[in-house]
Amino acid sequence: MNYLKSRRDFIKKTSAAAMATMGMGAPLAGLLSSCESKMKTTADSVILLFMAGGMAHTETFDPKRHTPFRKGMEAKEILSTFPSIPTKLDGIQFSEGLENIASVMDKGTLIRSYQAADLGHILHTRHQYHFHTCYEPPQSVVVPHLGSWIAKEKGALNPVIPPFINIGQRFTVGEGEELKAFHTAGFLGSEYGPFMIPDPTSGLDSVRPPVGMDTKRFESRNQLYKDLIAAGPMGEFGSDYQKESLKRSMEQAYILLNSPEAKAFDLSQEPKESYDKYNTGKFGLGCLLAKRLVNQGARYITVTTEYEPFMGWDTHDNGHTRLKDMKKLIDAPIAQLIKDLDESGKLDRTIVLVASEFSRDMLTEGRPDLKVKDQVQVPDIVEDLKNFGMHRHFTDGCSMLMFGGGIKRGHVFGKTADERPCKTIENPIKIDGIHQTIYHALGIASDLNYEIEQRPFYTTPDGHGKVETGLLT
């Protein structure tokens, strides 16, 4: 019951905030750093590869003692259910099944000390909201997504290509409304919101009329859509700024529809040899589409394994067997994306971040010194393979990978304990540090803010996010 109440509250408050945001006028520029124009930029674009659902660090990029399955084993024995493999970095190991990514780690930084927020009872979408916006939900205004801040402050590299593109997430699966809550530009305006591509194999369908619809009929539908918007809540309650921003976003989509760059969304244009290297499924082809779009001037792209409750990385059962499949899904395409960007010279100016909202552990829900209510029962004695894996949500030690755009090559940042609880013990970093480091690389000042509800609203809460120089060259 508490879960349903908190979930409903989250939806209710974010929905109310959305209406409040529509009523606002143009956000007023706050005091910008006098050093902003002098900042050295090391990146032009960002690709976030988001492992939605809670990727266990001990089963991926920070393996511990391997414990093979046997009937009758104690749950407390289990740290890593896969053996370790070597990486390109001397003395640094990954979990079995990630051999391809291991082979490109000389090109990036391995972060082993990310700490997710303490948000009470753990809900994936609350932590995903926090990860993508840097603000704890709910807020009194609709908070812009990281990609929206970047789209607003840096603008489009190519005026035809949407500056913020989201690939792979549907909103027709469980917790769809909560997922929508942070896929928004908020008070920055609709033109800076995500261009949604739920399925990369149908990417071209996002920028062209349906089969059988001629241009005249499409233009008629476009006008009808404008009329519906005008007669809806946006038309009635929206400020002039929000209305104009929505109008510009629609015009941008229409320009893209008629541009040669629209072919970048068509994966059938990719040579078969390259296509096959990425084709592990929807996520792999999303990585391929991200490469094509960055080459055409996309500013910020998210590719997600997609959050769907009790699927993918959300390993409340069958953790070991499920992770075998997830590794097959991500290993080859992530490595190929890094190789292709590096060979083309794009990696030097493109940050690629591989991350998840939090990690997992067999025994601890939350973190060792701030446990929260268990959401799944794990037997003390493991008799069945379905109970062999990382079931609970763990927030005190998570792994990330960062490549390109001024990020150090062949570097390891932070450390977790080798024995349970496998928590962060060196160089902790939180989401405001990750965001601010990305902003810094792009040349966005740390004190950038807009006046919202008669108070300054920063890219990180109260502007306190600090650049983590230990990640940068």
User: What H or E segment, with its residue span, contains residue 257?
Assistant: helix 240-257
| Burial class of residue 191 (count of CB atoms within 10 Å of its CB; 0-12, 13-18, 19+) | buried
Q: What is the pLDDT of residue 31?
A: 45
Structure tokens at 175: 């917790």
Q: Is residue 83 part of a domain?
A: yes
Type and span of the H or E element at 152: helix 146-154
333: in domain: yes
Three-state DSSP state, 109: strand
Tokens read off for 54: 């809670």
On whether residue 239 sits in a domain, the answer given is no
243 in a domain, yes or no? no
- Listed as own residue / partner, the contacts of 100-106 with beta carbons closer than 8 Å and 24 or more positions apart are 100/331, 100/332, 100/334, 100/335, 100/336, 101/330, 101/331, 101/334, 101/335, 101/401, 103/335, 104/335, 104/338, 104/339, 104/403, 105/401, 105/410, 106/409, 106/410
In 10 A of CB 251, how many CB atoms?
12
Give the structural domain span for 461.
2-35+47-203+260-471
Evaluate if pTM is beyond 0.85.
Answer: yes
Question: Tell me, what's the pLDDT at 250?
Answer: 64
What SS3 class is residue 89?
Answer: coil
Region for 191 from its dihedrals, namely left if φ exceeds 0, alpha if ψ lies in -120 to 50, beta otherwise: alpha
Residue 178 falls within a domain, yes or no? yes
Contact 386, 80 (CB under 8 A): no
| pLDDT tens, position by position, 132-175 | 999 999 998 999 999 999 999 999 999 999 999 999 999 888 78
Give the pLDDT confidence of 308-344 residue by residue, as tens digits.
Answer: 999 999 999 999 999 999 999 999 999 999 999 999 9
pLDDT for the residue numbered 353: 99
pLDDT for 461 equals 97
Angle at 250 between CA 245 and CA 256, to 5 degrees: 125
Residue 360 lies in a domain: yes
What is the rounded CA–CA span in Å between residue 121 and residue 373?
7
For residue 92, is it within any domain? yes
Q: What is the pLDDT of residue 408?
A: 98
- Nearest-Å Rg of the Cα atoms of the chain is 22
Mean per-residue pLDDT over the chain, rounded = 88
The CATH number covering residue 347 comes to 3.40.720.10
Domain count along the chain = 1
Instruction: Please give the pLDDT value at position 34.
Output: 38
> How confident is the chain (473 residues) per 10-residue block, as mean pLDDT?
50 52 60 55 98 98 97 96 98 98 98 95 92 95 96 94 94 86 92 93 73 64 61 60 64 74 93 98 98 97 95 93 97 98 98 98 91 87 94 96 98 97 97 98 96 93 97 97
Cα–Cα distances (Å) from 322 to 94, 290, 393, in that order, read 17, 25, 16
